[in-house]
Structure 1
Amino acid sequence: MAYASLLSLTQTLEQILHDPDDQCQVLHQHEEQIGRSLLEKVRFFLSFLEDHSQKYIETIRCLEGRIRVAAYEAEDIIESQIDISDQISSDSRNHYERCVEFKRYNLAKKCENLQKVIQELDSISEQVVNMKDRNDVEILPHRNPFPAGSSKFGSSNKSDMVGFDDELLQIKERLTGSPSKLEILSIVGMGGIGKTTFARNVYDDPLIKYRFDTRAWTTISQEYNVQKMLTELLESTNNQSNIENLAEKTTQMSKG
């Protein structure tokens, strides 16, 4: 698991950076800065995995492989510079000798590789933060339709949304697996987190297109026009027969 690899790396870094013996000057200033920066990144991921619910952990499980690989890589780089031989008893050498041995292997040679690991962790942490923010979107059954204030989606092309694979699959299963009765699925959350884009991705999904012969799209604001809304619904079906039916109904109404 990513958590176990992060915990192991944390212990290794803390052992090096927080050694109580002042005479053990293992790291130069630049090396120490890299080590502390790496420790900060690792603690971020540990804190996130410890403090957040299973819902968030599931959201970032697609990144766990990258986190685990980065943690293993960092620990391998560090431990490769430390000669901890099982053939030499720790009692046969004093603390200062162990520090000199570490310094001789020179962690500085691996600073560049550690910087690459830090950059990778930075990239992952940015994605984690974005996912956490977007995870405020909740999928709720049998409630009000799409909330007021949604902006009109200008393009019919599918938009890539990182971190919404599980939610998209859940919605598709609900829509295609439900019995043939009316069901309203609400997508709620703070403004700007991508509710409309998410809904459009569901609407344009190939499985949804295959499952539903008729699909219609419109947006409703706090001040809406019923005629405009119905026109958008009709136009979005792109079905000439519906237009003909509407024309027929209009003719019938005009005749009283």
Structure 2
Amino acid sequence: MAESAVSAVLGNLGNLAVRKTSFLCGVTHEVTFLKDELMRLQGYLKDADSKRRSGNASVAIFMSQIRDAAYEAENVIEAAEYMKKRSRIKKGFMGAISRYAHLPSDLTTLHKVGVEIRRVRRKLSEISQSADHLKIDFSSHVADEYLDDYGLMHQNCKDDVVMVGFENEYNEIVDKLVQAENMLSVVSIIAMGGAGKTTLARKLYTSSEVKQHFGALIWVTISQKFKVVDLLKEIVKQISTGDQSRKIDDMNECELGKKIHDILMQKRYLVVLDDVWETDTWEQLNRTIKAFPDAANCSRVLLTTRKEDVANHVEMPTHVHALKCLDEEKSWLLFSTKALPSYKRPDIRDLDMFEKLGGKLARKCNGLPLALAVLGGYLSKNLNTQAWSDVLSCWPSTKDTKMMRSIIARSYKDLPNHYLRSCMLYISAFPEDMIISVSVLINLWVAEGFIPDTPKCTLEETARKYVTELAQRSLVQVVKTSGVYGWILKIRIHDIIRDWCIEEATQDGFLDVTDETTRGKVGALSCHTLISYRSSFQNSSAFTYDTSG
């Protein structure tokens, strides 16, 4: 991510360097020298990144130093830019008076900017010298590639294929939810991470049968560390009518539980508790007052978990559905839909060879839908038999979660440019399971400087291509698309991919994600990590978890 930091700063430096004004005087020349230093260091970063991933601690520190120096450069350049813009706000006689009045302070600030730039230049020179001692190869730098898979850019993005193989489970669980006994009961879906629990639960939650049967639908994601009061607030907001956010925020746990009880007592309801980790979660939600009443009206609880003891612990009638991994036939169907999409098949030579290699790779994924989708998305961008053979020959010996993380890392590293890698890591700043508005995300990407100027494309158009690229690789999941333009409007990120991104971003000092309950880091920290440039403080009560899309 040091590479991304340097490149973003270079864009700002370039804009400032070409707009020479008398106001900036000699600072412009200092900026040009600074830009040259950063461009030279950028050439080291690809080789340095591969060394860091292999565990070289000295290189990790080296990259952190470059990143921090780049951000320091950005800060002083932004100060100069602010001065330049302010000087052009007022025109005419009064403007001249204003500029004259500010001249002493502007000159002082300008001097400080110049001093800071020279300091950063010295720092970069010292870092450059250390690269020689670390034997980092300058020649390994390769220019960024541009995205080129947009003839049919919105194809292969939809996540309907992720339901492959779950048809029988879907029908069975729908029956358990809308039929059977009148008393309040639980349906638990249990499976390991990446097996499709949440995907199946969402499909059930948004199905027409469920919507018609229940008068109230509630979805809450239970993170590993949660506050009961925040979950209860979220539930009240979902079942209350009108804007009562301020009043709800002031309620205590007992008041919230009573309000939920009183509303749900009048309705047939379904509450989804997604990704439950602890056996006593249901008891915690009902500890001050029984928030979820049993009105003998066929209300239900749908619970997803990775732990068998959690699925069996709830003290009410329970149906446990152990979600099976996909068999070989269904694994191939999902994998081939992603890796060899229909719009690419007519142009693929040696299709039989790809299918032969693909069959072997699909079996390696052990029937895990997430692994099949992400690996398939990666291979769809690398349609040559040698690349597929290489993946097969160096398949990790680890299984399940570790295997999944290896696949995510491969796809992330294969992203066409460092801008897109920055955009990917930035998504982890959003809370777990949150529906993300693409228009909001694009504005944030642009503001952060992650979207480059490209020929014949606006920044927004380039950013939309980035979203599509991530969706085609199954690194993000599409929730909603535009019926008019086909644009992706809403996305989410799988919690396993999000966890991987948090660890990667934290290790690189790109982003820290802080949990409200513990005020601690969610990601895995490296002992060599310096202070991060960005921080995401996640307060679950501040977000609405829109699962309907």
Where on the TM-score scale, by shorter chain, does this alignment land: which range? 0.3 to 0.5
* Higher relative strand content: 2
Structure with more relative contact order (C-alpha pairs < 8 Å, separation 6 or more)? 1
**Structure with greater helix share of residues:** 1
> So what's the TM-score if we normalise by structure 1?
0.39
Return the index of the structure with the highest Cα Rg: 1
TM-score by length of 2: 0.19
